[in-house]
């Protein structure tokens, strides 16, 4: 490689790095706006909704809304974003749900066999209770997936792919995906003690939480989740429906697990999960890494 090529490569790396920071600026803008709007919203709620949660929900709303101007600015079509035709999209949802089931259920089986998950015997289980919880959990899981996937495996992954190699775009989008789960604070501030700048104090606490070493096992697991979904999105054209279905299945299974099981804190295999939700952790990280490696090995030999 001559000096001119070397300089060109260095410039490409610098511009790629700077471009990867653009989503952070969008996130900061969304949070900034959410802090301001949330302050005025909570003034009439009388502590009915925690200030931190109102900020979180408005941040999600503004991030979703940012998809549309971003699509217009980047000239990204609906298909490039990952959406197939209506019938194909519905088929993908079902297929993705099945993929999510077969990829996560083995984790629950292992955790149950090792007695990390133990049945919650405090419940009086009935068919009605089970069906109601399954339906509510499925609806919530679908809503979460319909919010997160168009953001992370849609506009973010597609936009980053314009300037970064595919694997680079997957990795960067997955870092944002994993990190956003821990951009939070548990501080509750009464409405009467808030002012226009209170939200920014909570924002500082939320960013500080990203440097908490205790989140590392869960962060790595969510990073691998993002990479798995990113690979799925980039290996199949217009496959956002598959990602939404898979994500929905995972979240649904986790919610049902929390309804049916407790985490056995005395288990010698407790290190396989994290305190984040009692499911994701080193076991999920290793299992999904194995699944991704197996996929690429199969693609290479077929």
pLDDT tens, position by position, for the chain (302 residues)?
555 656 556 666 666 777 888 888 999 999 999 999 999 888 876 667 888 889 999 999 999 999 999 998 888 989 999 999 999 999 999 999 999 999 999 999 999 999 999 998 887 788 998 999 999 999 999 999 999 999 999 999 999 998 899 999 999 999 999 999 999 888 888 888 888 888 889 989 999 999 999 999 999 999 999 999 999 999 998 899 999 999 999 999 999 999 999 999 999 999 999 989 889 999 999 999 999 999 999 888 87
**Of 217, 224, 223, which Cα lies nearest the Cα of 291?**
224
Q: Where are the beta strands (DSSP E) in 41-184?
A: 117-119
Task: Return the bridge partners of 262, or none.
Answer: 118
**Of 296, 288, 238, which Cα lies nearest the Cα of 91?**
238
Structure-token pair, residue 12: 């490409």
Q: Please, is 148 exposed, middle or buried when counting C-beta atoms within 10 Å of its C-beta (0-12, 13-18, 19+)?
A: buried
Q: What is the pTM of this model?
A: 0.92
Say how many C-beta atoms besides its own lie within 10 A of residue 107's C-beta: 24
């Amino acid at each position: 490689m001559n000096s001119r090529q070397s300089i060109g490569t260095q410039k490409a790396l610098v511009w790629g790095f700077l471009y990867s920071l653009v989503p952070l600026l969008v996130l900061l803008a969304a949070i900034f706006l959410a802090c301001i709007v949330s302050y005025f919203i909570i003034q009439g709620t009388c502590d009915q909704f925690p200030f931190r949660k109102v900020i979180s929900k408005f941040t999600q709303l503004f991030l979703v809304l940012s998809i549309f101007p971003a699509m217009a600015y980047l000239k990204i079509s609906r298909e490039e974003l990952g959406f197939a035709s209506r019938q194909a999209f519905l088929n993908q949802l079902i297929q993705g749900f099945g993929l999510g089931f077969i990829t996560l259920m083995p984790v629950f089986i292992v955790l149950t066999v090792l007695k990390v998950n133990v049945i919650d015997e405090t419940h009086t289980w009935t068919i009605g209770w089970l069906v109601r919880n399954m339906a509510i959990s499925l609806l919530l899981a679908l809503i979460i997936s319909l919010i997160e996937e168009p953001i992370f495996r849609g506009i973010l992954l597609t936009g980053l792919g314009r300037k970064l190699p595919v694997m680079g775009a997957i990795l960067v989008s997955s870092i944002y995906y994993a990190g956003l789960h821990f951009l939070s604070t548990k501080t509750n501030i009464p409405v009467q003690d808030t002012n226009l700048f209170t939200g920014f104090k909570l924002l500082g606490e939320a960013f500080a939480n990203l440097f908490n070493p205790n989140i590392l096992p869960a962060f790595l697991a969510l990073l691998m989740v993002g990479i798995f979904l990113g690979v799925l999105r980039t290996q199949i054209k217009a496959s956002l429906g598959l990602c939404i279905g898979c994500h929905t299945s995972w979240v649904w299974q986790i919610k049902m697990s929390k309804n049916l099981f407790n985490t056995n804190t005395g288990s010698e295999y407790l290190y396989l999960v994290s305190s984040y939700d009692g499911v994701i952790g080193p076991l999920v990280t290793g299992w999904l890494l194995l699944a991704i490696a197996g996929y690429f090995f199969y693609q290479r030999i077929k």
